[in-house]
């Protein structure tokens, strides 16, 4: 499969580190030096599903296709206001498609998992054109009095249309259960049979453990995928890595012995937008003209679970 079109939509509200310092014991200096983030786009009056539909329509337009051409829609999402129906069905209706659709929750690695599902459907002869939409609002998961987590995230939606061609060279995925490192707990409806006391718990994170996992997993996934497809790190034009922390991205550069110039970043004014992060970066750099037809691109993402994955694609 090959990337035929991309689109992304970000919330209007820009929240700077100085704005956070007004109600949190933090500073621009601390956040920027530890994470790279200076500002992030945060959902205020927008609805995530509207942003997802808009991103999907932009990607279809970019691909020169319409919703009727699609054989499958995959939506990567950790949380949104609906528990059911799934976001992919809302997107299907919003763009006027009629193909099967599914949601996946693979945290920040969702785009890589969706790419693998799309590629597998295609190889099985079940789908020629697939729409992937990553739509995330992690700012609705954190406790905004917790300076350790809420400063890290931003929201956004991004879509990619895949069609015929030899673009996807290889993908590898991994998972290692570590459920106490990055998690959120949600209380379901009470029933007459639930006797224990239950409480919602906003996003909890053991930051240093997550940091170490991310560097190790990304290095391993990227090296494995490159070796599987017989491409050397030096032959890669661009590395599009999940935008979680600039120091994680620098550590991956060091591990692969690759120059900073091959790693486009947008963490500075986006923050970590979970699974939307990689496809937003992809869309922005395609539209800027940085990623060109024939370029070899590595995508890599990692997140809660832990789960991670990498892909080698030719644009």
Give the interface with ligand COA as residue ranges (CB under 6 A).
Answer: 26, 30-31, 34-35, 108, 147-148, 151-152, 205, 207-208, 210-211, 214, 244-245, 272, 303
- As a whole number of angstroms, the distance between CA 120 and CA 100 comes to 15
Name the catalytic one among 89, 108, 134, 150.
108
CA distances from 167 to 220, 283, 293 (A): 22, 16, 10
CA distance 27 to 78: 28
Compute CA distances 251 → 214, 281, 294, whole Å. Answer: 10, 19, 27
Question: At its nearest, how many Å lie between ligand COA and the CB of residue 26?
Answer: 3
C-beta of 20 vs 56, nearer to ligand COA: 20
- Smallest distance, Å, CB 253 to ligand COA? 16
Q: Which of 47, 49, 63 is nearest to 131 (CA)?
A: 63
Q: Which residue lies nearer to ligand COA by CB, 94 or 219? A: 219
242 is catalytic: yes
Tracing tokens 């054109």 back to the chain, one arrives at 129
Measure the CA–CA gap between 283 and 213, rounded to whole angstroms: 27
Minimum Å distance from CB 185 to ligand COA? 17
Nearer to ligand COA, 53 or 158 (CB): 158
First to last CA, the chain: 10
Which is nearer to ligand COA, 167 or 305 (by Cβ)?
305
Closest approach, Cβ 59 to ligand COA, in A, equals 24
DSSP, collapsed to helix, strand or coil, labels residue 94 as: helix
Closest distance to ligand COA from the beta carbon of 136 (Å): 11
- State how far the alpha carbon of 309 is from the alpha carbons of 26, 57, 282, in Å: 33, 26, 16
Answer yes or no: 272 catalytic: yes
Which of 86, 276 has the CB closer to ligand COA?
A: 276
Q: Among the options 242, 245, 266, 270, which is catalytic?
A: 242
Residue nearest to ligand COA (CB): 207
In this complex, which beta carbon is closest to ligand COA, that of residue 245 or of residue 285?
245
14: β partners: 41
Task: Give the Cα separation of 118 and 126 in Å (integer).
Answer: 9
The catalytic residue among 129, 245, 266, 272 is 272
Return the closest-CA partner of residue 74 out of 279, 308, 292: 279
Spatial contact of 263 and 253, defined as CB atoms under 8 Å apart: yes
Please report how close the Cβ of residue 35 comes to ligand COA at its closest, in angstroms.
Answer: 5
Just list the catalytic residues: 108, 242, 272
């Amino acid at each position: 499969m090959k990337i035929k079109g991309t689109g992304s939509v970000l919330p209007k509200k820009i929240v700077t580190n100085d704005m956070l310092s007004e109600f949190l014991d933090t500073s621009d200096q601390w956040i920027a030096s530890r994470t790279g983030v200076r500002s992030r786009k945060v959902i205020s009056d927008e609805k995530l599903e509207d942003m997802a539909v808009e991103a999907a329509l932009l990607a279809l337009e970019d691909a020169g296709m319409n919703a009727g051409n699609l054989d499958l829609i995959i939506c990567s999402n950790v949380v949104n206001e609906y528990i059911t129906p799934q976001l992919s069905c809302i997107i299907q209706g919003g763009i006027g498609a009629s193909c099967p659709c599914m949601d996946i929750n693979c945290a920040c690695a969702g785009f890589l998992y969706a790419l693998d599902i799309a590629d597998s459907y295609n190889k099985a002869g079940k789908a020629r054109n697939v729409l992937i939409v990553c739509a995330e609002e992690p700012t609705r998961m954190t406790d905004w009095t917790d300076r350790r987590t809420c400063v890290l995230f931003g929201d956004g939606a991004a879509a990619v249309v895949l069609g015929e061609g030899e673009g996807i060279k290889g993908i590898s995925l991994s998972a290692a259960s570590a459920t106490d490192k990055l998690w959120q707990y949600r209380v379901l409806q009470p029933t007459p049979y639930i006797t224990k006391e239950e409480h919602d718990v906003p996003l909890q994170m053991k930051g240093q453990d997550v940091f170490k996992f991310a560097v190790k997993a990304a290095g391993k996934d990227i090296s494995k995928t490159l070796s599987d497809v017989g491409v050397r790190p030096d032959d890669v034009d661009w590395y599009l890595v999940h935008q979680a922390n600039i120091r994680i991205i620098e550590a991956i550069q060091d591990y692969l012995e690759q120059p900073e110039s091959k790693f486009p970043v947008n963490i500075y004014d986006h923050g970590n937008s979970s699974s939307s992060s990689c496809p937003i970066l992809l869309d922005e750099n395609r539209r800027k003209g940085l990623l060109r037809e024939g370029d070899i691109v590595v995508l890599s993402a990692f997140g809660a679970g832990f789960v991670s994955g990498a892909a080698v694609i030719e644009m």
